[in-house]
Homo-oligomer: A and B are copies of this chain.
């Protein structure tokens, strides 16, 4: 708040320096702005959200969120993993709330202003999502946290583009190569295929899940084997993202089967051609969150000739297990090096899917590792899942 009020005085000189560098849309407001920014006429002024300090992470890990909305009746903070927190209106039409102390983490959030979920315009850190883009706040913690950017050797994240003949569109995937990866060297690496959830884009596991940073840290600490991580776009029928398509079970099935086909026949061959990968089932893992957990089970358990390591984080999506896994049996235990079924204890998918899945696997005599950790259907759980799952992969004797 102090920053805003002190800046209202010096705003003119700030503008003079800023103007040449700002977008045309902002510069075209110059005339409108010149005499306007007065506290008494906030609705008419152009207020540059960058001048507002939000979010402000305090030394005690409390966090203050601020949002200027002079005429809203009600503004509520929606913070990932927390209850909605009403914000209070103060001077200059600025709403604010202080929450916490918060556990060191990355939190998605938005402001629910008169019922509409908005990104924080003062915060450049975005939580990308195809249905519900939000802002993100980072509460720093000790360097031992898996997702903390440390001064350790870093891998590289490659953004790949291709035309999918299976789906019929231009699409992308991401590839993490570990520190020290040398495309000209002799060393080859095992591969983890890591799948996002419904509503995410292909960038979710890096931008939100911090998969590359988590792997950097695990590898630097000697906890995980250096590996390549491939993060494809998880939709075989992208129109499933359109309103009104969600209940369409035929489309959901097409989404699943075409994704599987594109992964197996388009993405994997390309990865195996372009990167120094170890092929064969013992060197190939698949895991994912939510929809991507369902996809990992569907692709992995139906192709044990290609994947020996399968992980499902808070999985959902598969309505009929007998139909989806017609051939899975206790005989497959010899091929399955790891089947890792994780879910947040407070996740609404624990009962409807994960308990049912585990009971079905037990009935079939298929071995699995059950993981339940505190948390809802959130990235806190999935970052933790990746940090716990990756160290188990590609070991000689993991079971």
Contact = CB atoms under 8 A, between A and B. Distances in A.
Interface of A: 3, 7, 10, 13-14, 16-29, 32, 42-51, 68-74, 78-84, 93, 108-110, 112-119, 121, 123-124, 126, 128-134, 149, 151, 154-163, 170, 183-184, 197-199, 201, 206, 212, 216, 243-244, 246-247, 290-291, 316, 348-349, 352-353, 376-378
B21 A197 contact: yes
Contact of A81 (B24, B44, B82): B24
A20 B290 contact: yes
Contacts of A129: 124
A105 to B, nearest CB: 13
Nearest to A247: B17
Given A69-B113, A80-B25, A115-B42, A20 B316 contact: yes
A270 to B, nearest CB: 11
A156 B156 contact: no
Contacts of A244: 7, 10, 14
A375 to B, nearest CB: 8
B25 A79 contact: yes
A195 to B, nearest CB: 13
A159 B160 contact: no
Contacts of A126: 126, 128, 133
A158 to B, nearest CB: 5
Nearest to A42: B115
A71 B72 contact: yes
Contacts of A133: 119, 121, 123-124, 126
Contacts of A212: 161
Contacts of A32: 84
A112 B29 CA distance: 10
A195 B22 CA distance: 16
Contact of A3 (B68, B134, B243): B243
Contact of A24 (B114, B128, B378): B378
